[in-house]
Amino acid sequence: MPDYSLADNPSTLRFIFYPREDVTPCPENAFDLLVPVGSKVSIACRFHIGHREWPWILFFHGNGEVVSDYDEVASVYHEKKLNLAVADYRGYGASTGVPTLSDLVRDAHTLLEATKKALSEKGFRSDLWVMGRSLGSISALELAFHHPRELNGIIIESGFPSVVRIITHLGVPAPGIPLEAIDQACLEMIQKIVVPTLVIHGERDTLVPLKEAEDIYRHLGTKEKELVIIPGATHNDIFYVGFQKYFEAIQRFVLKTDRAKTPNRDG
């Protein structure tokens, strides 16, 4: 298992995390949840409800993004008959605290359990798919490894096998950090992931090069895996450039891996 605390050097973290305090009123057909993750520290999540019987995706967003950035995007998921729950990180949006890599992975477990509990209490489906975009791929891969029986599948979008790849690709200062050991531990973890996995990546992504997605796909232990490359897309325009292919892939993947199909799911 990767020990992310070895990379929690302040001079490194300031190049990895870009917290943004930005909060919008909760939209109609949604609810907010503050999840305690530490002493006086809570993380904000927003649940966008399309239909109580539709599948739920727990989404970990990219760096520089916040929960409210997905208020309008949620309607697109609803068009695909998918509910969307978006989670922040420490220091992002309405969340408190200061982000670190070790807290990022530790908090993911708490957020998963809090999400399942909230959905169950409200009478929604409690089985989940987890999706991680860019920075969020760390959380998604972490949960896939530790909670295979609780997840129907994971989706990695514009992601990377380990944060080491971003540190080295961008030339981020990493004094005293055992980069090779952390990267190897991450690859070994991915090799043990057995849940169905969809990997989506932009062909022309220069921030997180396509080879990182290919590396994830190659190392995944599951036989149920798919790599979707969006032609002409970069890191930050993948959603728009590949709109149709992007969402068709997600919808197809969720339907294929839905273990709890019922006759009245369409609502």
DSSP the chain: ---GGGG--HHHHHHH--------PPPTTEEEEEEEEETTEEEEEEEE-S-TTS-EEEEE--TT--GGGGTTHHHHHHHTT-EEEEE--TTSTT--S---HHHHHHHHHHHHHHHHHHHHHTTS---EEEEEETTHHHHHHHHHHH-TTTEEEEEEES--S-HHHHHHHTT---TT--HHHHHHHHHHHHHT--S-EEEEEETT-SSS-HHHHHHHHHH---SSEEEEEETT--TTTHHHHTHHHHHHHHHHHHHHH-SS--TTTT-
pTM of the model: 0.95
pLDDT at residue 250, rounded to an integer: 98
Measured CA distances, 200 to 51, 151, 205, 250, 253 (Å):
26, 18, 11, 9, 11
Whole-number Å distance between alpha carbons of 162 and 21: 26
Digit-coded pLDDT (tens) for 202-239: 999 999 999 999 999 999 999 999 999 999 999 999 99
Strands 41-48 and 30-38: antiparallel
pLDDT at residue 267, rounded to an integer: 45
Per-residue pLDDT of the chain (267 residues; tens, 9 = 90+): 889 999 999 999 999 999 998 899 999 999 999 999 999 999 999 999 999 999 999 999 999 999 999 999 999 999 999 999 999 999 999 999 999 999 999 999 999 999 999 999 999 987 899 999 999 999 999 999 999 999 999 999 999 999 999 999 999 999 999 999 999 999 999 999 999 999 999 999 999 999 999 999 999 999 999 999 999 999 999 999 999 999 999 999 999 999 765 544 444
pLDDT at residue 260, rounded to an integer: 64
pLDDT at residue 259, rounded to an integer: 78
pLDDT at residue 127, rounded to an integer: 85
pLDDT at residue 200, rounded to an integer: 98
Domains and CATH numbers, the chain: 4-257 (3.40.50.1820)
Positive or negative CA dihedral for 264, 129, 226, 224?
negative
